[in-house]
């Protein structure tokens, strides 16, 4: 799909230089950049969902309540 967007001149120049060094198109640079950002977002979302699931499930602490004295015991 074709789309048009404006880039700051310095960013466009850096993108063209990076594309030339890699011998790929500027389009490919943009695609790779979007994939990297979106992939990182997905991984972050997956980690967040896993953490929330662990919190909702709770942690087993041996099912033995601690007394106040044991909780505040100083060494």
Residue-wise pLDDT for 25-62, tens only, equals: 999 999 999 988 888 777 777 888 888 888 888 777 77
Cα separation, 70 vs 49, in Å, equals 34
What's the gap between Cα 51 and its chain centre? 14
Cα separation, 58 vs 48, in Å, equals 15
What is this structure's pTM? 0.54
Q: Is residue 15 a contact partner of residue 7, using CB atoms and an 8 Å limit?
A: yes
The token duo for 44 is 């972050």
Which band of pLDDT confidence, cut at 50, 70 and 90, is reported for residue 6? very high
């Amino acid at each position: 799909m074709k789309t048009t967007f404006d880039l700051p001149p310095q960013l466009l120049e850096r993108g063209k230089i990076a594309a030339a060094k890699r011998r790929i198109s500027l389009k490919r640079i943009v695609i790779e950049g979007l994939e990297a950002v979106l992939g990182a977002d997905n991984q972050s979302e997956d980690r967040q969902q896993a953490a929330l699931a662990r919190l909702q499930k709770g942690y087993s602490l041996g099912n033995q309540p601690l007394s106040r004295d044991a909780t505040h015991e100083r060494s």
